[in-house]
Structure 1
Amino acid sequence: MRQGFSFSHFGMFVHDISALESFYTGLLDFTVTDRGQLPGPQGPRDLVFLSRNPDEHHQLVLISGRPKELEFNPINQISLKADSLETLCLMYRTLKSKGLQNVSPITHGNAVSIYVPDPEGNRLELYFDLPWYVSQPMAVPVDLEDGATLMKRLEEHARELPGFRPRSQWREEMAKKMGVDSVKSSL
């Protein structure tokens, strides 16, 4: 890792803080670590702090005050990394069983993702990195129903794409480009 900074958390304005709190705690197992109010130029703002990691006070902060009518949502995606492909496939089945709309499983060649909007239309990416790299951007729909053949299908597809190589090789290239130690940090 580069010295100095690492990504820690994300905060977003919301208009229905209760609905978003329920979504992130219920579906994605975040825990409320704190809540309160802060004064602001347009009046007090409610804040809810959420985390999935006891070492991080918050990974997501929900803040009241988002206008109900926005021409454009500036949040492209909020990404959460799965610990396994099985976890990702289980979440896909969970999302489908809850009847959530616009659930889109995609392969990027180097990762497999599920895109789903939260209750306010912020796009979530739930993903798992694959053990190889392909040139980006790349996105095509993928069938997550047949878990027995999924990894084989993902690799066969990726091998046909530009830039295919082991993720470890790509990582070494990026470490050199970034001027950092090529040994993977445990941090």
Structure 2
Amino acid sequence: MSRPGLTFSHVGFFVHDIARMEDFYTRLLDFTVTDRGQLSGPKGPMDLVFLSRDPDEHHQIVLISGRPQEIPFNVINQVSLKADSLGTLKAMLRRLQAEGVAGIAPVTHGNALSVYAPDPEGNRLELYIDLPWYVSQPLRVPVDLALSDEQIMATAEAHARSLPGFQPRAQWRAEMARRMGLA
């Protein structure tokens, strides 16, 4: 169930080194290049690389050359990718660590387990799984994903139960559906 009319589809962002970014997203995060080409831009031609992990989506990420050098900070807060399991999340963490990616941060948000890591140009990536409960946000606490799945889930649930707003995800979802006029 979702609101009719619009669904979120993809994101595009400007990059400095399109080849390096393409390599990172295809090799480490298993995106596939679906298309590439060039368009005219205000400062000359722009190269575009279209990436997807879903054969039903032509692209989920578009990399576009021409990111200005003079931006004083990274304007992308984060790009989030939902993992299909805790096992996948842990495997992606190990893959990023093996690649030598600096600044990796596994955390719990109470209602999700996340791994944050920068891509080669400093865009923050979040790889995450939802947990079967909800807690009030924002919340960010380090978590040890080297523990067994059972230990991680037991620790995450015990922590979440101690936080404001704890409730089963289904209960939270029903309330959001009501507030969105979908119930």
8 A contact 1:88–1:128 mirrored in 2: yes
User: How far 1:94 moved relative to its partner?
Assistant: 1.5
Q: Give the structure 1 partner of residue 106 of structure 2.
A: 105
Corresponding residue pairs, total:
181
One-letter amino acid of the structure 2 residue matched with residue 71 of structure 1: P
User: How far 1:68 moved relative to its partner?
Assistant: 2.5
Q: Give the structure 2 partner of residue 81 of structure 1.
A: 82
User: How far 1:141 moved relative to its partner?
Assistant: 0.5
Cα distance in structure 2, aligned partners of 1:77 and 1:55: 24
Gaps of 5+ in 2: none
RMSD: 0.8
In the superposition, the TM-score normalised over structure 1's length comes to 0.95
Identity %: 67
User: How far 1:96 moved relative to its partner?
Assistant: 1.5
Q: Give the structure 2 partner of residue 40 of structure 1.
A: 41
Cα distance in structure 2, aligned partners of 1:116 and 1:147: 22
User: How far 1:147 moved relative to its partner?
Assistant: 2.1
8 A contact 1:89–1:147 mirrored in 2: no
One-letter amino acid of the structure 2 residue matched with residue 70 of structure 1: I
1:42-57 equivalence runs, <5 A: 42-57=43-58
Q: Give the structure 1 partner of residue 130 of structure 2.
A: 129
In the superposition, the TM-score normalised over structure 2's length comes to 0.97
Gaps of 5+ in 1: 182-187
User: How far 1:170 moved relative to its partner?
Assistant: 0.1
Q: Give the structure 2 partner of residue 170 of structure 1.
A: 172
Secondary structure class of the residue paired with 2:94: helix
Cα distance in structure 2, aligned partners of 1:5 and 1:142: 35
User: How far 1:93 moved relative to its partner?
Assistant: 1.5
Cα distance in structure 1, aligned partners of 2:129 and 2:92: 12
